[in-house]
Chains A and B, each alone.
Chain A
Amino acid sequence: MNLILQPVMVDTGEEGEACLVFAEGWLVAVLVRLSDNHAGAEGFWFLEKGFGRLDCPDPPSFSDLECAQQWIREHLEIHRPPRWPGDQGHT
Chain B
Amino acid sequence: MSAPSQSLAEHDRLIAKLESIGTLTLEERAAIKALPLRVRQIAEDTDIVRDGDTPTESCLLVEGFLCRYKMLPDGGRQILAIHTAGDIPDLQSLQLKVMDHSLGSLTPCKVAFISHAALHDITRAHPGVMALFWRDTLIDAAIFREWLTGVGRRSAHQRIAHLICEIHLRLKVVGLTDDDGFELPITQAELADALGLSTVHVNRVLQDLRRDGLIASRGKFLAVTDWRRLEQAGGFDPRYLHVR
Residues in A whose Cβ lies below 8 Å from that of B76: 57-58
0/1 string, B152-186, CB within 8 A of A gives 1:
00000000000000000000000000000000000
A48 to chain B: closest residue by CB? B200
Residues in A whose Cβ lies below 8 Å from that of B204: 12-14, 37
Give the A interface residue count (CB, 8 A). 12
Instruction: Give the contacting residue for A46; candidates B192, B196, B200, B207; CB below 8 A.
Output: B200
A41 to B200, CA, bound (A): 9
B237 interface residue per 8 A CB criterion: no
**Interchain CB contact under 8 A, B208 and A61:** no
**Interchain CB contact under 8 A, A37 and B207:** yes
B198 interface residue per 8 A CB criterion: yes
7 tightest Cβ-Cβ pairs between the two chains A and B: A46-B200, A59-B198, A37-B207, A38-B203, A58-B76, A13-B204, A58-B198
Q: A12-B204, A37-B207 are in contact. List 17 more A-B contacts (CB 8 A).
A: A13-B208, A14-B204, A37-B203, A37-B204, A38-B200, A38-B203, A41-B200, A46-B198, A46-B200, A57-B76, A57-B196, A58-B76, A58-B192, A58-B198, A59-B198, A59-B200, A61-B200
Q: Which residues of A contact B (CB under 8 A)?
A: 12-14, 34, 37-38, 41, 46, 57-59, 61
